[in-house]
Structure 1
Amino acid sequence: MPKEDAGSHVEHARRLASRVTEAGETDRELRLGVLRRGAGGPAIEQPYDALAAGIAADSARVTDAQVDAVLQAAGSEKRAFELVLSAAIGAGLRRWDAAERAIEDAGDAAP
């Protein structure tokens, strides 16, 4: 496990996730749920689930219909953007963690 100093991945990830959930126009619990879903976490209510899961799996395959559904449910472009960003940050942090594990595993491999 990486050391948790001020410049560590763990600390950066914690601060980034905290910033996503601290302030915004959308409900804090919804932003947190979308962040977790983007990181591969449990399903949340629709239409947010489809978008967050899509961003987590392959953001290039997210459809206009998924984005439009979230835009309609969220009520504004700013709120929809907060949710898209939350899912993207969750997905990015999950990939970052996976990359760190792969690097650690490669370092442990026998020559």
Structure 2
Amino acid sequence: MTAILAVLATVVGGFLGGVGRWALSRRPGGRWGTWGANVIACVVMGAVVGTREPLALLWGTGVAGALSTWSTLARELGQNVRQRRWRTVVGYATATLLAGLAGIWLGGLLV
């Protein structure tokens, strides 16, 4: 694979993932948008593991990389820690971890 094709695949995937992340930040928005983006990114990653390089760069590095938003997750968890909302912190972190693992597994089944 040429370097140009690798960059192009990553750029196109990044654009698509970025648009998806933006859409999820609008609807449903908030924690549900962040959670959904991260879970969908995990499904995508589970599906592309072991695929050929152009597809892995497009879908894995590009789409899933731009769609997932672990920095927003950290900010949302941090805000809840500062507000001492311990049930929310534990519930949100646990739901994200378990759904992400399930998403990777599900994505692997799709291929």
User: Same fold, TM exceeding 0.5?
Assistant: no
- Alignment TM-score, normalising by the size of structure 1: 0.37
Q: Which structure has the highest helix share of the two?
A: 2
Higher RCO (C-alpha under 8 Å, 6+ residues apart): 2
